[in-house]
Structure 1
């Protein structure tokens, strides 16, 4: 555990029912004259949805805007290039993202190539950005990725099918908005996928080699909140209490991994998502129990603590047996919210495992995993996730 560390998060974070109304005034305070609204075509069409409410608030504050609705799941290089083109043609001066992780990553990626060079593939890695992005705010609509809070920008190179990460403090939005009322109509499958992403993002930092006392507390509280609310949010999306708890959890998990980093679950999930264009949260959920079972020997006591946070009774058990209950609880959560057990469900093919394993070990999230693996071991983990029943 680190004793000397920095701690990164947006300077202002608005949380709670109705906070979307504040976005116009905050844009005005930041001197945004004409922000590019980065979102997807579906959200733009929702009557009185997150985009409509964002635009209403901006109009009330007298802030002009232009809408880019070309966000795709697992955002591609072509998406950020199209957004940059519209930004320049329209004379924009700032960016507001509205959506989940894909919208936030697209907005960050757009900002990166506006100020740091057009070829974002050359900027993959940690703290590669020399110049600040245009002013950026994030309106979040899913309780999952934490991207509205973090320094991570994940983009897919559509030519190679590889996901890559640009990690920089310059990517952190100046302001984030988490309004649980914007999430009431999120479908159950998306709620499950994004919620499992938050679950993973609370677990991986807790066992990360870069963890610290602050992130430990955030992880444990996030896990407890998710244990108590994700199933309810999936079962009844209009349960405001469950939605609110999930937003609290994803914010805590986002702050935690923004500072303690992640591990092999995300490093491998990026390969699945890039190769098969599969939902990120589902990829993470499919890999979570397999990878963490591999990781147990690095610190069984810490996995025992995870089991307790997940509500497991560890009285009278050895440390190792208690640690195993954490893996059981991870599988149970995924089962309960309808996540399949095998990566066959997203079209994974064993002939791709060698290349994906090689690239997973190069992923920026791999270096903080608590147990170091060889390429052959990563291939074995992919195979185990493939054979899971």
Structure 2
């Protein structure tokens, strides 16, 4: 079997890492930046921490901030028009998954205009050219979009999330600067952190996992278990923020190359149909689906229990699996994640539609335990 591992050309880590921007922009011979971000990051001064570096270096830029939390086909088309009009030759994505995913779609379509309808990018698109150069600066410790070959765009007309997988979309440079995350609200820190944990756990047990990906995912689980609660409760704790920033990147390195599972398969339609934040959807679903998947991945669940520091000598594999599920559930409760779909406005009559969409999702086939539409419906009912 041949395994592939795709990563950025170069990545930087650590508080203040954004200061490398001018050097890297000059190295790549780039001239003008198209800054893809969102209005809240501008409003609260997070984007300004990056923009001032550009201004001080005399690097011209234009801002595109019309990005929704679950970016849509319309968002991308508006961004494409803005990029074309800007005269920019590269993109700086500042934000969480929404900004980075939108930047990826803009960058790919600009250099592959045959995909300008956006919807044809769903799945594994046969693009011929690399994206416009993207420099990604995450402001959340969750999606790891700065290091993945994936992006997700909502097809608002058909009420579904399109998962797009394309090695040509990976940002040229990732700058993981924890200082951009210090003002992240507690609720968003919790949701994005558990999104990262979902990536690590699903990436560890997915069908495509292998030794190299396992190594990264286990380390990510260990770091998230160590740092997430502190990052939620002590927002300016530099060690915890940087620990989470690095952990989510590590998780992304692996899952991007091996796939995910039914947690993401079930979370995607929750975002597309009900506009529920992706991290919240993953966090709510994760413990219940971990419990379902345990029989198919017991050895890996021992690794999870050890990484979360809940394994004790003499435990059976089943006991270790139970301890791992319990640890994830308790962490979710402690950081304030909703525990029931009903808390998010989802009703029982909505579940069949969600189950149908989840079964068809591109992430679902990677699940270690086979599912049917009926099984997925039952899983939704368990968390209703």
TM range (shorter): over 0.9
TM-fit CA distance, 1:160: 2.3
- Of 78, 85, 88, which residue of structure 2 is paired with 1:89? 85
Alignment of 1:97-112 (within 5 A): 97-112=93-108
Secondary structure, in 3 states, of the residue corresponding to 2:12?
Answer: strand
Secondary structure, in 3 states, of the residue corresponding to 1:165?
Answer: strand
Match of 1:35 in 2: 33
Match of 1:66 in 2: 62
Bigger Cα displacement from structure 2, 315-324 vs 331-340: 315-324
For 1:381 and 1:171, the matched residues in 2 are separated by 33
For 1:367 and 1:28, the matched residues in 2 are separated by 43
- Of 332, 335, 345, which residue of structure 2 is paired with 1:334? 332
For 2:146 and 2:311, the matched residues in 1 are separated by 35
For 2:2 and 2:212, the matched residues in 1 are separated by 12
Alignment of 1:2-41 (within 5 A): 4-41=2-39
For 1:325 and 1:102, the matched residues in 2 are separated by 33
Render the CA deviation track for 1:99-151: whole Å, top value 9, x for unaligned.
11111011111123323321111220024323321111101111111011111
Bigger Cα displacement from structure 2, 215-224 vs 304-313: 304-313
Structure 2 gaps of 5+ residues are none
Match of 2:231 in 1: 233
Alignment of 1:1-389 (within 5 A): 4-47=2-45, 49=46, 51-116=47-112, 117-386=115-384
For 2:237 and 2:51, the matched residues in 1 are separated by 26
Bigger Cα displacement from structure 2, 101-110 vs 339-348: 339-348
Secondary structure, in 3 states, of the residue corresponding to 1:361?
Answer: helix
Bigger Cα displacement from structure 2, 167-176 vs 322-331: 322-331
Bigger Cα displacement from structure 2, 88-97 vs 147-156: 88-97
For 2:125 and 2:132, the matched residues in 1 are separated by 17
For 1:214 and 1:174, the matched residues in 2 are separated by 22
With the length of structure 1 as denominator, give the TM-score of the two structures: 0.95
1:144 and 1:197 in contact (8 A); partners too: yes
With the length of structure 2 as denominator, give the TM-score of the two structures: 0.96
TM-fit CA distance, 1:217: 1.1
1:191 and 1:233 in contact (8 A); partners too: yes
TM-fit CA distance, 1:306: 1.1
TM-fit CA distance, 1:77: 1.1
Structure 1 gaps of 5+ residues are none
For 2:62 and 2:76, the matched residues in 1 are separated by 15
* Runs of 4 or more above 3 Å deviation: none
1:196 and 1:285 in contact (8 A); partners too: yes
Give the aligned CA root-mean-square deviation in angstroms.
Answer: 1.4
For 1:10 and 1:343, the matched residues in 2 are separated by 36
Secondary structure, in 3 states, of the residue corresponding to 2:144?
Answer: coil
2:302 and 2:311 in contact (8 A); partners too: no
Secondary structure, in 3 states, of the residue corresponding to 1:356?
Answer: helix
2:49 and 2:180 in contact (8 A); partners too: no
TM-fit CA distance, 1:329: 0.9
TM-fit CA distance, 1:58: 2.1
For 2:268 and 2:128, the matched residues in 1 are separated by 25
TM-fit CA distance, 1:71: 1.3
1:24 and 1:54 in contact (8 A); partners too: no
